[in-house]
Amino acid sequence: MDQEDKGKVFRELHQPGNPFILANAYDVGSAKMLTAMGAKAIATTSSGFAFTVGEPDGAIVTRDQMLDHCEDIVRAVNVPVSGDLEHGYADDPDGVAETIMLAAEVGMVGCCIEDTTFEDGKPAYDFDVAVERIRAAVDAAESLPFDFTLCARADGVMIGAYDTAEAIARCQAFEEVGAHVVYAPVLPTMNDVATLCASVSVPVNVLCAGSNTKYSKSDFAKAGVGRISIGSALARTTHRVVLEAGHAMLDDGDFTQLGRSVSGDEIDRMLKSGGA
């Protein structure tokens, strides 16, 4: 598929009440494996990628590093790719718009932009500033010659900056300025998710991680969700294996967990079939 086709396919996957799984890959290998297993689209994960370069989650990885990583994944698979681009790597709306254009240049057909500042004492942008940043991102996305799906994130509940009512109000404002998808990670209950879905007309993304993993795809569908992402959950699941097997090996001389690994032949097969 060329970028125009990928953009169209990705946009059409978003159907409220009929969610698709947007699989977050943390490197090229995981992207290829997820594609081989049938993922219809791939997203990056900022924290998952940070872990692969030995950095903690947060504003450590630069925009150039992230865009290079996104381009590697775009070239590796033949499905739409959406980027987790944190706060757009800029405070001002023009800087966020520039990030959208650069994301399109490396082949992406969508991205998330959040309202997180990464500043101590003020973790989220003020309401009006957050909305203007999304307005600029949407304007940039709409200027492109193909569908570029802009997901606007209200991260305040997850980071403790504001409550659910504020998150819903922000998502409504993001829709008003043209966001194609809205996203408020880690809302307290499924009822809150359903309330958000009912309060907007655009598709809603939910994060299936932590306590949300007790729900099924059909549960999210009943709530009206249009897209399910997993963030860094797959990356952290991989790191759990490293942690547990590593402790057993290094602390106790116990190698039994290494015997539960996937065969190299199976991995080779998936990497080949999942590639572009």
List, in order of start, the domains of the chain with CATH numbers: 3-273 (3.20.20.60)
Is the pLDDT score of 88 beyond 90?
yes
CB 154 within 8 A of CB 115: yes
| DSSP 8-state assignment for residue 152 | E
pTM of the predicted model as reported, rounded to 2 decimal places: 0.96
To 10 degrees, what angle do helices 28-36 and 63-76 make? 30
- pLDDT for 6: 98
Mean per-residue pLDDT for 104-120?
96
CB 113 within 8 A of CB 137: yes
| DSSP 8-state assignment for residue 275 | -
Residue 234 to residues 27, 47, 104, Cα–Cα distance (Å): 11, 11, 25
Is the pLDDT score of 235 beyond 90?
yes
To 10 degrees, what angle do helices 93-105 and 63-76 make? 30
Question: Which amino acid is present at 60?
Answer: I
Sequential DSSP letters for 214-246: GS-HHHHHHHT--EEE-TTHHHHHHHHHHHHHH
Is the pLDDT score of 60 beyond 80?
no
- pLDDT for 59: 60
Is the pLDDT score of 116 beyond 90?
yes
Mean per-residue pLDDT for 94-105?
98
Q: Is 179 helix (H, G, I), strand (E, B) or coil?
A: coil
Q: Is 33 helix (H, G, I), strand (E, B) or coil?
A: helix
Does an H or E element contain 247, and which? helix 233-252
- Phi, then psi, of 255 in degrees rounded to 5: -105, 10
17-41 pLDDT tens trace:
999 999 999 999 999 999 999 999 9
Is the pLDDT score of 129 beyond 70?
yes
Using left for φ > 0, alpha for ψ between -120 and 50, and beta otherwise, residue 73 falls in alpha
- pLDDT for 47: 95
